[in-house]
Amino acid sequence: MNVFGVDIGGSGIKGAPVDLDRGDLAEPRHKVLTPHPAAPDGVADCVGEVVEHFGWSGPVGITFPGVVTGSVVRTAANVDKSWIDLDAGKLLGDRLNMPVTVLNDADAAGVAEMTFGAGRGRKGVVMLLTFGTGIGSAVFIDGKLVPNTELGHLELNGHEAEKHASTKVKDDEELSWEHWAHRVQKYLAHVEMLFSPELFIIGGGVSRKADKFIPLIKHIRAEIVPAELQNNAGIVGAAMATAEH
């Protein structure tokens, strides 16, 4: 069965039909740049552009980079603050004229990885961390999601962790892989102290280059692996969420 998924990020908005039997994209994804400022109407138009690229009609799952309860946005760290307390489900559903399901972006990626990827069959505490414009998190206990954890906003060295160790910071500060891996290591050590996970799954676009930095991360007890679905995990998880509604 094919269902459409859209992943809204701080830098790009991407989507595709998803084959939920295989847990993979049914067609190559289409991506547009996130507008700046990333205000609701502009983002909704970009989501519409992605969906219309495929001539899709039917339910659409959509991720959002912030806390989402029901379909209402509660936080907006890397998009315009006018999203806060907005019913994103209504806005996007009206724009597309289709039923939509909205959920946190990292939660969507995590559900996809736990079902089809690196977390398949894993019990205990598993954490997916997505590194991109910010740092997203999804926490699972025996395969069950604890939604909207937003652990990229933990304080680290007096700053929000994502202001210290995101992929955007690596690019903005032109950090070497070694320097950035050291920052990621400090972040993982802090998260490990708090939650004692058995497995860290590293997602986001940087997961494609896992061999450049994961071997450089030392002194973490938990196993550390790249996301198998890489940067498509959010799209797959979004489609899964709307299929369940």
Helices 88-96 and 40-53, axial angle in degrees (round to 10):
40
pLDDT the model gives residue 40: 98
Dig out the tokens for 229 from the structure. Answer: 């679905």
- Per DSSP, 35 falls in state P
Average of per-residue pLDDT across 7-13? 95
**Rounded CA separation 156/204 (Å):** 21
Dig out the tokens for 93 from the structure. Answer: 């559903």
Q: Tokens 């933990």, residue?
A: 154
pTM for this entry: 0.96
DSSP H or E segment with residue 30:
strand 30-33
Is there a contact between 202 and 131 (Cβ–Cβ < 8 Å)? Answer: yes
CA dihedral 202, 205, 210, 213 (to 10 degrees): -90
Burial class (CB within 10 angstroms; exposed 0-12, middle 13-18, buried 19+) of 220: middle
Residue 136: pLDDT over 90: yes
- Angle made by CA atoms 77, 15, 187, in degrees to the nearest 5: 40
Read off the amino acid at residue 200. Answer: F
Is there a contact between 84 and 75 (Cβ–Cβ < 8 Å)? Answer: yes
pLDDT confidence tier of residue 229, bands split at 50, 70 and 90: very high
pLDDT the model gives residue 157: 86
pLDDT in tens, 66-107: 999 999 999 998 999 999 999 999 999 999 999 999 999 999
